[in-house]
Amino acid sequence: MDINNDPEVREARKRWLAGGSALPVVELLASRGAKIEAAACARLALARPDCPDASELRAVLAGLSSPPAGWDEALAAFARSPSAEGWRDLMRFVPADSLYLCLRDVVGRLRSLGVEGDTIFRFAAEVGLTPDLIELVEQGHVSVKMLEERAAHAGGAKTTYLGLAAEAAFLSGDMLGAIRLFRQSMSYENEWVSAEPHVAFVRERATPEQKDLLDRAGIPSSWTD
């Protein structure tokens, strides 16, 4: 069944969008087996500072990832002493069908435990980029060096990692570095990946002088021009 056409889900979503709680939507989606959709709704609702039923939503969100027994203790142990072996131990017993949601849970949880952004990114990005890892970069918690290192081994994803590195350079105040990395990112573009979202991120935050630098460097403002 198409979850978007489920009448109960549609009605619950309508009440949520009218100012109600997202909890019924999240619970219905979870009960239908749509875990990723449920988690997305929960995260969207929790982003609001006045989110109703926030504690209940966090509890549902934590349960969606189906963490193995001892998960909290394992996370805390890894946070105290991050290592490749510790990461392997952490991931070893995560069910394959819960890996994506567990990884999304890991990023926020490790950040709250005080683990530095480069360390989280180094290990969590081994499986692939999640929205939480991209957010970690765009909050300024991941270094250019880390992103360039990841790009060197990224195969077809070089455009994305170099674009994120350009964002990190911009956030650190290195506009010339951002331009260099944008050029590299654009050189690896293909039909599947584009530097455009990363350029858009910078242009939305750039000063007029910085935008002028981008223009003069040939970094387009739109890929449809």
Per-residue pLDDT tens digits for 9-32: 888 888 888 888 888 888 888 888
Q: How many domains does the chain have?
A: 3
- Residue 46 and residue 11 share a domain: yes
CA distance 16 to 23: 8
Task: State the Rg of the chain over Cα.
Answer: 20
- CA distances 187 to 40, 56, 113, 190, 198, Å, are 33, 46, 38, 9, 14
Q: Which of 104, 127, 118 is nearest to 44 (CA)?
A: 104
Which residue's entry shows tokens 């709704």? 41
- Residue 103 and residue 151 share a domain: no
Where among 20, 40, 64 does a domain terminate? 64
Would you say residue 188 has pLDDT above 90?
yes
- Residue 76 and residue 29 share a domain: no
Q: In 3-state terms, what secondary structure has residue 34?
A: coil
DSSP state for residue 192 in the 8-state scheme: S
| 219 assigned to some structural domain | yes
Q: pLDDT tens, 51-78?
A: 888 888 888 877 776 667 788 888 899 9
CA distance 116 to 114: 6
Q: Would you say the pTM of this structure is higher than 0.85?
A: no
User: Within 10 A of 92 (CB to CB), how many other CB atoms are there?
Assistant: 9
